[in-house]
Amino acid sequence: MSGLISRNLKMYFNDRSGIFFSLMGAMISFVLYLAFLSQNMITSWSKVPDTKLLLDPWLIGGTLTITAITTTLSSLSLMVKDRESHVLADINLTDISYVGIQFAYIVTSVFIGVIMQLIMYFIMGIYFMIVDNSSLDLTIFPQVFGISILSSFTWTIFNLLLLSFVKKVDTLGKISSIIGTASGFFAGVYMPIGTLPTTMQNLMKYTPAPYNSAMYRNILMNAQLNKSFNKLPVSVLSKFKEVMGISISWNGALTFQQDLLIFISFALVISICVFLISRISRRLVLSKV
């Protein structure tokens, strides 16, 4: 199994164009923020001190969620390519079980998702440190690292479920385009969740993405939130957190622990779904490759 994991990692990191396109969704959100969104948000919250220092980590939190979604999907695309080229059927003839093969793809995807999230974290953190004189607080790195692992696992399982019956690279390309575009919306980067109509907000809340972004933002923004809202009413802070998707509202603002619990619940439910369909997907896919 270790040989299969090593092979998958090499194939991913040797494909430079694949790495670039797997980060496309994250880079688009970053560029859009710099070109259009930042000034509008700064104007909207002009009464809050050091607005830029608040919005920079806000963007980082959402972009890391996008990175987790798109890079794990890109990693699992190798599984679809292996199906189409009959490599998966050949691997299944070895002494590695089908579950073991799936596990190898999962480990590869989780590892890649974590690495790419951390790379984006440091790229954006250093950029904002240079441009906006913000600080890159390394004391919160263990928390960021922990969330990156959980994010990678959850989105790997989600994407594995999504690709369970996909056998053509052409179909994969269409799915990747849709997910890449939708991820920025559901992560609350293109538009803050609190600015959307109630129906759209509710739709987003039934996906793991806003909770993933909220966890990151709680960690990354906590220190600056305390500074910026120190002399402002608590109601203003609560409104800011609700509108900007730092606190997801379900009959009241959720805490970080509640966001974490909901996100883990999504991971468990999706994992059960993957387990339940694993025999079906194996039979349907391997019998026709």
User: So where are the chain's domains?
Assistant: 2-286
Query: Which pLDDT tens digit goes with each residue over 33-56?
Result: 888 778 788 888 878 888 888 999
End-to-end Cα distance, the chain = 22
Query: Which pLDDT tens digit goes with each residue over 22-36?
Result: 888 888 888 888 887
For residues 77 and 83, what is the distance between their CA atoms, to the nearest angstrom? 10
How confident is residue 129, by pLDDT bands cut at 50, 70 and 90? very high
Query: Model's pTM, two decimal places?
Result: 0.92
For residues 77 and 264, what is the distance between their CA atoms, to the nearest angstrom? 24
For residues 114 and 150, what is the distance between their CA atoms, to the nearest angstrom? 9
In degrees and rounded to multiples of 5, residue 249 shows phi and psi of -100, 120
CA 125, 21, 112, 278 dihedral sign is positive
Encoding tokens for residue 183?
Answer: 């991820």
Bigger pLDDT: 205 vs 170: 205
pLDDT at 236 over 60: yes
Check: CB of residue 15 under 8 Å from CB of residue 78: no
Query: Which pLDDT tens digit goes with each residue over 238-247?
Result: 999 999 999 9
DSSP character string of 84-129: HTTHHHHHHTSSS-HHHHHHHHHHHHHHHHHHHHHHHHHHHHHHHH
245-254 CB contacts, 8 Å cutoff, 24+ apart: 245/62, 245/188, 245/192, 245/193, 245/194, 245/210, 245/213, 245/214, 245/217, 246/58, 246/214, 246/217, 246/218, 246/221, 247/214, 247/218, 248/193, 248/205, 248/210, 248/211, 248/214, 250/205, 254/214
For residues 262 and 268, what is the distance between their CA atoms, to the nearest angstrom? 10
For residues 186 and 213, what is the distance between their CA atoms, to the nearest angstrom? 9
How confident is residue 202, by pLDDT bands cut at 50, 70 and 90? very high
Check: CB of residue 88 under 8 Å from CB of residue 262: no
How confident is residue 289, by pLDDT bands cut at 50, 70 and 90? very low
pLDDT at 99 over 90: no
